[in-house]
Amino acid sequence: MKARSIIVIILAVLMVMCISPSKVKLKGFQFSEVPNVKRLFEKYEETIGNETITLEIAFDGWNATTKGVQEIELSLSSPTTIPLLFENSSILKFEVEEIEVRGAKANITAFYDGRYGLLLLDIEPIENTQQIKIFYTSKYQPLFDVNMRDIIDWHIKSTKSSFYLPPEAYMGLSKVKGNLMVKVSSHTSNYTLAGLLKLPNDKYKPLLPEGDTFHTDSGRFYILLGKWNTYEKSIKIYGRSVRVIALTDEGEWVVDELAKILKVYSFYLIPYPYDEFIYIRIKGHRSEIEGFGLYGGAVGTQFENLIPHEVAHNWFGIYAELGVLDESLATYTSFLYKPTLEQADYWEGICLSSRDRTPIVDINTVTRRHQTNLYQRGGFIFRSLQFVVGNETFFQGLRELLEICHVKDCRETEKTLDLIKEIYENLTKQDLDWFFREWFYRADYPNFTVSSLKVFQKDSNYILRLNISEENGFAMPLEVKVVTPVENITKRIFVNGSSVLEVETKGRPTMIILDPDDWVPNVNGSSYRINWEKLTFERIEREEKEIEGVKIIVN
């Protein structure tokens, strides 16, 4: 007997037993070997119907064993083939034990290619409705599964504390299109049950069971089990009730912070557009800092560094899609949660350490190579745009952008940048082409310096005259803070090549701070850099400059 046939682990004889004219039981399937069973499965067209799956799931820390019954309800008027695809590998054994068909005549053809099995169930209706019941057992080792079947698999890693079952591990994949109900009648007692439903365009929606049952459509559905505590609260956002839920081991404070984030973002952008937000704590596949924004929720490895960004994707990425700019705007929005100069300085250090010099307009997809440009640099650009147009105008523009891109395809970067520019030009009645050309069509940073400084005494006051230069071809407004023993004065100046600022003060200036609130990333700013030899991100000692007894600081 061939080794491949042994792997299949099936009976060698096909037995068909007729119980009644409208009821057939099928078991013991003879498989024929063919190449690429999965491609054969994809050739079959979808059939309209509904599926109900009842599962008993046991997990011992390494092995997940599932006893399942998959029920398919159809209303066929002509003969149809229902394909059922299942997977067998070193970590997943899916054994179909019996198929029961009511309301139709039925026979089966079975194929196997070394990894995938395919049952082609030929149904000839003899009643108005037909019911198919598939009885099976699945043995799966989630901790050893490195197959990336779907985009969510790149972000979630199974552990003994939290693991997931892809559809292949708990059901036979069919081509039935309609409602899918998954009932988990029993599971390991110290785990909490959740789910992720795949939506179009690689979006995912978190689901919690109603009792023991998930109600979905026929999209791919992942079952999650974790040793989480469940925290929940209901909040009001502009008069509408929103349910906030956290499945996590981080503590009850998480649900309170989620509520705060939703309220903050709703104030600046538009009110949170969904009735529920679910956060699920997961383990990352590639790193300890990994997350994914969900439709009405988020998954992530840790709260502080990830979830404010992932929550923002419910506006930029879910409610409105802007392609790669979703990451820039989600990063910017996360700054609204805890806006500190330390955070801005940290982001600026990441930007200045990057070796990638690809303009955002030339980036078509999110990759690790372009991550800094799309996330920190992109977020900082929108912070600089806020500085240029003013707070009220900036957030009004973001609200307009969200509403336009909620109904319009905004995933093409250059066209969306033109749209954003148009929105802000209409609001400000100014030509902003210079800003967008500098920041989105280039990938370097301004280099602001004080090229000369003079202090003159005038009666009891002082006159400070500064020459501020920009050496990388940027034309940008800049704030300058003048510090004296008596008072601090902040002035705004537009620097194009070089500009002169003259300020009268009551006390002699002791310090000049360029960009004191860190609105603009610039070459001499930030106290952080990547140490490429050690591959660490660390504080650096910046050289202090002094002219005529006045200390110069560039933020």
State the DSSP H helix or E strand holding residue 99, giving kind and residue range, or none if neither: strand 92-102
Residues paired with residue 463 on neighbouring β-strands, in sequence order: 456, 504
The dihedral sign for the CA sequence 268, 272, 273, 279: positive
What pLDDT does residue 441 have?
A: 97
The pLDDT value given to residue 381 = 98
The DSSP output letter for 30 is: P
Residue type for position 294: L
DSSP code, position 45: P
Distance CA 106, CA 16 (A): 9
Residue 14 in this model has a pLDDT that exceeds 60: no
pLDDT of residue 368: 87
Report, as an integer, the average pLDDT of 304-324.
Answer: 97
Q: Using DSSP, state whether 179 is helix, strand or coil.
A: coil
Mean pLDDT to the nearest integer, 473-492: 97
Closest CA to 276 of 305, 318, 317: 318
Alpha-carbon torsion 284, 288, 293, 295, what sign? positive
pLDDT band at residue 543 under the 50/70/90 scheme = confident
Spell out the residues 6+ positions from residue 401 whose beta carbon is closer than 8 angstroms to its own: 320, 322, 419, 420, 423
Q: Which amino acid is at 540?
A: I
Q: Is the pLDDT of residue 508 over 80?
A: yes
What is the helix, strand, coil percentage profile of the chain, to 5? 25, 40, 35
Residues 188-230 have pLDDT tens digits of: 999 999 999 999 889 999 999 999 999 998 889 999 999 999 9
pLDDT digits (tens, 9 = 90+) for 146-187: 888 999 999 999 999 999 999 999 999 999 999 999 999 999
Least confident of 59-63, 198-202, 371-375, 519-523: 198-202
DSSP state of 506: S
Q: Look up residue 113 and give its two tokens.
A: 């290619």
Query: Is residue 10 over pLDDT 80?
Result: no
pTM of the model: 0.92
- Residues 6 or more apart whose CB falls under 8 angstroms from that of 120 comprise 81, 82, 83, 84, 108, 109, 110, 111
Q: What pLDDT sits at residue 2? A: 40
**Long-range pairs for 3-8: beta carbons < 8 A, 24 or more residues apart:** 4/33, 4/112, 4/114, 5/31, 7/88, 7/114, 8/88, 8/112, 8/117
Q: Which of 201, 151, 157 is nearest to 289 (CA)?
A: 157
Mean pLDDT, the chain, whole residue set: 93
Q: What pLDDT, on the 0 to 100 scale, is given for residue 22?
A: 65
Phi, psi dihedral angles at 157 (to 5 degrees): -115, 130
pLDDT given for residue 13 in this prediction:
33
pLDDT on residue 9:
36
Q: How far is CA 327 from CA 111, 439, 542, in A?
A: 44, 16, 30
pLDDT the model gives residue 16: 39
Q: Residue 418 region, left (φ>0) first, then alpha (ψ -120 to 50), else beta? A: alpha
Question: Taking 90 as the threshold, does the pLDDT of residue 331 lie above it?
Answer: yes
pLDDT digits (tens, 9 = 90+) for 346-365: 999 999 999 999 999 999 99
pLDDT of residue 544: 82
| Rounded Cα distance, 362 and 413, in Å | 8
pLDDT: is 534 or 236 the higher one? Answer: 236
- Tell me which residue has tokens 């940073």: 445
| Torsion of Cα atoms, 16 then 17 then 22 then 26, to 10° | -40
Structural contact between residues 331 and 309, judged by C-beta atoms closer than 8 angstroms:
yes
Is 60 exceeded by the pLDDT of residue 7?
no
Average pLDDT over residues 100-127: 95
Residue predicted with more confidence, 445 or 27: 445
> In the prediction, which pLDDT does 89 show?
92
Assess contact for 125 and 106: CB atoms under 8 A.
no
* CA-based nearest residue to 170, from 222, 132, 113, 111: 222
Q: Which of 50-59, 72-81, 214-223, 263-272 has the lowest mean pLDDT?
A: 214-223
DSSP of 189-229: TTSEEEEEEEEGGGEEEEE--BTTEEEE-SS-EEEEEE--E
Can you tell me the distance from the alpha carbon of 66 to that of 186, in angstroms, rounded to the nearest whole number? 10
Per the listing, tokens 């409602």 go with: 179
Q: What dihedral do alpha carbons 89, 6, 171, 280 form, nearest 10°?
A: -30
Average pLDDT for 71-84: 97
Q: What's the CA gap between 551 and 514, in Å, rounded?
A: 11
- Contact at 8 Å (CB) between 457 and 469? no
Residue 1 in tokens: 């007997």
H-only helix segments in 223-317? 253-268, 307-312
For 413-465, how does the pLDDT look when each residue is reduced to its tens digit (9 = 90+)? 999 999 999 999 999 999 999 999 999 999 999 999 999 999 999 999 999 99
The answer on pLDDT for 3 being more than 80 is: no
Q: Which residue has the tokens 């509403």?
A: 403
Please write the tens of the pLDDT for every residue from 467-482.
Answer: 999 999 999 999 999 9
